[in-house]
Structure 1
């Protein structure tokens, strides 16, 4: 089910995207109060944007722009909105995205080709371990995509290992959609309750929210820990509400495949100019085919590297590597640049750690300060030294580490107002 455009030669993909870009720019100029006003103020004639290189003539769209002028981004009257989705508000206040009937069809198509990329086929059964409520776009998108593929869906939602295993044993799903660290909780529960999880019929899991790969595509500490226990295929998928598009790994696990019929991607440096080939930069996207709230040159805040080498799966599209971190979450610590995912990966290597949070603040000198609070099974000075040694070896610096209890961290991490566990807190 690989779309023809994704197997086309790069020049053909490029020509296709340029035509779609032209169509999108005319659409927002005519229908978006925000972009119509912006183009007028900046004296931008959309007819002058003829190639992907011409994108630099257009201003960026930021999360702050959407927060300030949320309703002005809508390109259709309110009676055309079928679904209201909001961002998770990871950095700042959530924003609302109105989706039309056509947008939901596009969302279903996006997830269908993404799940196909991850090896899910008609006749499979998938257990959905993410929420479909709370105005969460992803959960709805997963359901719509699987339905389009004629794949059975078990809508269990997040958490509760006992309920998850009850559904797995009753309905025999072939695949799971989940946060990968939750797979470790499933394994732990199964082992404690005598469940033969290795013969449960699960073939693979599509994983969201946490890194399965390092920048060189080797397995992260988290995915290695899962693989040591459970021989299932793990696929990484990366998306956001603003993109309305997913980048999902194929079986070769060398980055999430780009769907050129749905989105244009750029990567830029701190100077807002394209980064050299092979260098990480902030991902900037322009959505294609979105009717309700299309975005032009939206800065995602995610630092990624683009890969263009051919993939053996037959797709000729570029691939997005693992997210290095959020631009706003970059930490300068003792002369070293850090992102939270790198620290989390170090912590994931210790079985003695039950839970953690990372707190960033500004100290009296005006520089970044890191405190990591750990709930561990057994506290000791020896274990504390071991953690610090690992940080020094992996990241060249050692943050301040404090021991606390699982009971203290649990309500902080699993805030009922959040859709997903939160382990990073930026107080700068």
Structure 2
């Protein structure tokens, strides 16, 4: 493991050691792990901490109940992960965790500039065991802002709510903004005279590793001239990383989470380099995590922001380590293809599939409706070849079959990437 411990400040270590002592006393999973590793939080130093093995998603799935660190009667809320990379994992929260969640989102909203005089429309689901909508609702309550709970989908209801309640911000999956803009155009709504001045975007990257708007971000701005704020969060972290108005990177809420950005050797990357984000939650009581490897690849930014926050900055998520595709000698992440598909709005439905060929190397296909014209298929091939330097296979399916694969029953998100490789 790594030897360099200089990135842990005394202040950060004090918060870390407090959390480590809590999990050692209350989490069956970490009691077992610490004993196996000969780790004692009452005598440990930073080097001991950095030699602890990672906790991974499969550990959570296999030993889910052993991570719970409070009595069952203390649990108030149950949620699950989205299951993007496997079966959903159960998470639970007690009263203190809900208060921490509210503080986390309140801090994020304050970075953006949302205050008690604003009205915010939530276009993400607040049900289906999803933590995000709940978190936004609690955070907005904490800062005293007005709230419009519309939920996911339904452009007509979204626009009725915008015109009726005059919200100043939307909380939204960014690609849905394109649907809202197209609905407005089709229904003679002048979006640029609406009350909306900004969108807090979740679930999809808006910016590249230089933190400039990517293809999706530029497409949205060309349709709707509002300020776009990136954010990044997950159920496991119970924490959000958010842009401020300076748009120089995502701020790390260092009072709520300890972060490491590590290379393949488990060493902290240098500023400007890309690595996997590994987190330790601070202040989480019900299901705390120590050195949890998120699988998300981010860049450690060397700049500091000249806003009121002095926290460290990271880039948006650039890809998922587990989703890396090696195709014809080229490294590709599904997110790269998703960004390219924005250039073909005629292709509303598509799925990226990767399988193993007879040599156990990756075989990459883009599945599109068989109704797509030859001209559209040719355009897609040209765009992929020009930007990826290789051309994935095109696979045609009847639209109904394709939709069934993209929107499987019980899924909270469209499945745009299907990994069918051998384990």
Once residues 8 and 122 of structure 2 are traced to their aligned partners in structure 1, the CA distance between those partners, rounded to angstroms, is 33
Deviation at 1:12, TM superposition (A): 12
Q: 2:23 aligns with which of 15, 21, 28?
A: 28
Matched, 1:14 2:21: no
Matched, 1:208 2:208: no
Superposition map of 1:261-272 within 5 A: 261-272=255-266
Once residues 155 and 263 of structure 1 are traced to their aligned partners in structure 2, the CA distance between those partners, rounded to angstroms, is 28
Does the Cα contact within 8 Å between 1:267 and 1:284 map onto a contact in 2? yes
Superposition map of 1:154-233 within 5 A: 154-233=148-227
Normalising to structure 1: TM-score of the pair?
0.93
Query: For each residue in 1:29-87, what CA deviation from the matched residue of structure 2 results, as whole angstroms up to 9, or x when unmatched?
Result: 11111111111122112234333x54322121111111111111111100010111111
Deviation at 1:362, TM superposition (A): 0.7
Tell me what 1:74 maps to: 68
Does the Cα contact within 8 Å between 2:168 and 2:196 map onto a contact in 1? yes
Tell me what 2:380 maps to: 387
Q: 1:401 aligns with which of 388, 394, 397?
A: 394
Query: For each residue in 1:364-401, what CA deviation from the matched residue of structure 2 results, as whole angstroms up to 9, or x when unmatched?
Result: 221111111234996234x4333223222222111112
Deviation at 1:128, TM superposition (A): 0.6
Q: 1:427 aligns with which of 414, 420, 423?
A: 420
SS at match of 1:47: coil
CA 1:386/1:413 → structure 2, altered by over 3 Å: closer, same or farther? same
Does the Cα contact within 8 Å between 1:156 and 1:164 map onto a contact in 2? yes
CA 1:234/1:377 → structure 2, altered by over 3 Å: closer, same or farther? farther
SS at match of 1:354: coil
Superposition map of 1:21-420 within 5 A: 21-51=16-46, 53-375=47-369, 379-381=373-375, 383-404=376-397, 406-420=399-413
Does the Cα contact within 8 Å between 1:131 and 1:419 map onto a contact in 2? no
Does the Cα contact within 8 Å between 1:355 and 1:376 map onto a contact in 2? no
Does the Cα contact within 8 Å between 2:173 and 2:203 map onto a contact in 1? yes
After the TM superposition, which of the residue ranges 359-368 and 281-290 deviates more from structure 2?
359-368
After the TM superposition, which of the residue ranges 402-411 and 80-89 deviates more from structure 2?
402-411
Deviation at 1:167, TM superposition (A): 1.1
Once residues 163 and 411 of structure 1 are traced to their aligned partners in structure 2, the CA distance between those partners, rounded to angstroms, is 25
Deviation at 1:89, TM superposition (A): 1.1
Does the Cα contact within 8 Å between 1:206 and 1:236 map onto a contact in 2? yes
Structure 1 residue runs of 5 or longer lacking an equivalent are 1-10
Once residues 228 and 328 of structure 2 are traced to their aligned partners in structure 1, the CA distance between those partners, rounded to angstroms, is 36
Once residues 249 and 198 of structure 2 are traced to their aligned partners in structure 1, the CA distance between those partners, rounded to angstroms, is 17
SS at match of 1:46: coil
Once residues 404 and 147 of structure 2 are traced to their aligned partners in structure 1, the CA distance between those partners, rounded to angstroms, is 30
Does the Cα contact within 8 Å between 2:270 and 2:300 map onto a contact in 1? no
After the TM superposition, which of the residue ranges 40-49 and 199-208 deviates more from structure 2?
40-49
Once residues 422 and 298 of structure 1 are traced to their aligned partners in structure 2, the CA distance between those partners, rounded to angstroms, is 24
Query: For each residue in 1:117-166, what CA deviation from the matched residue of structure 2 results, as whole angstroms up to 9, or x when unmatched?
Result: 12211111111111111111111001000010101111111011111111
Does the Cα contact within 8 Å between 1:354 and 1:377 map onto a contact in 2? no
Once residues 363 and 8 of structure 2 are traced to their aligned partners in structure 1, the CA distance between those partners, rounded to angstroms, is 46
Once residues 13 and 332 of structure 1 are traced to their aligned partners in structure 2, the CA distance between those partners, rounded to angstroms, is 35
Structure 2 residue runs of 5 or longer lacking an equivalent are 1-5
Once residues 151 and 123 of structure 1 are traced to their aligned partners in structure 2, the CA distance between those partners, rounded to angstroms, is 6
Query: For each residue in 1:353-372, what CA deviation from the matched residue of structure 2 results, as whole angstroms up to 9, or x when unmatched?
Result: 22221111111221111111
Once residues 191 and 408 of structure 2 are traced to their aligned partners in structure 1, the CA distance between those partners, rounded to angstroms, is 29
Q: Would you say how many aligned residue pairs link Structure 1 and Structure 2?
A: 416
